[in-house]
Structure 1
Amino acid sequence: MMRFKRQEPFRYQFGQPLPCTFRITHIGEREVETDKGAAEIHDISPRGIRLETNLNLPIDSAKGELEVELQFTIVDQPINVRGIVIWKKTYVNKFQYGLSLEISKQEEIQLIGEIKRHAAMYARKKESK
């Protein structure tokens, strides 16, 4: 029997990757203040995000978890969330990261609402072509 790690209701894939900015807030127990980096969100769920950037983040299990703060707008509500980097994939000159979101129930409701609004708008755009 196969087991799936993702115990989440849905994962939304953006047709066009969504631009965002992020900064590292913690490396292990140590609080850090990095400059903002640019990235693109490829897919999102209330529990996680897959993003791509040309920045090589220092993911090193010896130093502990890497926590980042993301800022993005799906439709028109600016969203700020924190996440823990749980995986990394290296491509030619890009890096993809999987983040596990650390969000409250309220933030989760806001996020789901924005994803649904985006999906509805995207569906309307496709129909009108």
Structure 2
Amino acid sequence: MNFKRQEGFRFVFNEAIDAKFKLRLNGRGINFEPYECKIIDISPRGVKMFSEAKIGEYLNNTTLQIEVQFVLDVTMIRATGEIVWSKPYANGSQFGVLFHEDENIDELIISEMKQRRKKEVLQDKFTKIKY
């Protein structure tokens, strides 16, 4: 499946962010325990992530949804969306997730990214001064 993002703002992490996800089919959870994953990059409307979870059997179902849980700075974010692409990578797969439209989630992601980036800049300045 080809998918082309329509937004310009995307933040790529130096180190992937730990996250968890659950799959939902027709509104019901498929997995009771969340799968582990890593968020590689993020925008207010979606994420690129990696997981070793074996979920290929579910990807052909058009009613499959994914709920991703992660912390960018201090607040737990739970966003629901659709897996719009998937490809094998290393010992797992990379996925592109497009979040369902939710202005509150968009604003929370932007706010958390701003706070995270400010802390990273301050940390970089402190590290340069210290050594």
Consecutive unaligned residues in structure 1, runs of 5 or more: none
Correspondences of 1:1-129 after superposition (within 5 Å): 5-26=4-25, 29=26, 31-34=28-31, 35-58=33-56, 59-61=58-60, 63-129=61-127
- Per-residue CA deviations over 1:54-93 (Å, capped at 9, x if unaligned) read 11222543x2243111111111111110010011121231
How far residue 30 of structure 1 moved from its aligned partner, in angstroms, is 6.3
**Percent of aligned positions that are identical:** 25
Q: What secondary structure, in the 3-state scheme, does the structure 2 residue paired with 1:80 have?
A: strand
- 1:56–1:108 distance in 2 versus 1, CA, 3 Å: same
- Residues in 1 aligned to 2:112 and 2:101: alpha-carbon distance in whole angstroms: 15
How many residues in Structure 1 have an aligned counterpart in Structure 2?
Answer: 123
Q: What secondary structure, in the 3-state scheme, does the structure 2 residue paired with 1:10 have?
A: coil
Consecutive unaligned residues in structure 2, runs of 5 or more: none
Letter of the 1:10 partner, please give it: F
Is the contact made by 1:86 and 1:98 (CA closer than 8 Å) also made in structure 2? yes
- 1:16–1:92 distance in 2 versus 1, CA, 3 Å: closer
- Residues in 2 aligned to 1:117 and 1:9: alpha-carbon distance in whole angstroms: 20
TM-score (norm 1): 0.85
- 1:127–1:94 distance in 2 versus 1, CA, 3 Å: farther
Q: What secondary structure, in the 3-state scheme, does the structure 1 residue paired with 2:114 have?
A: helix
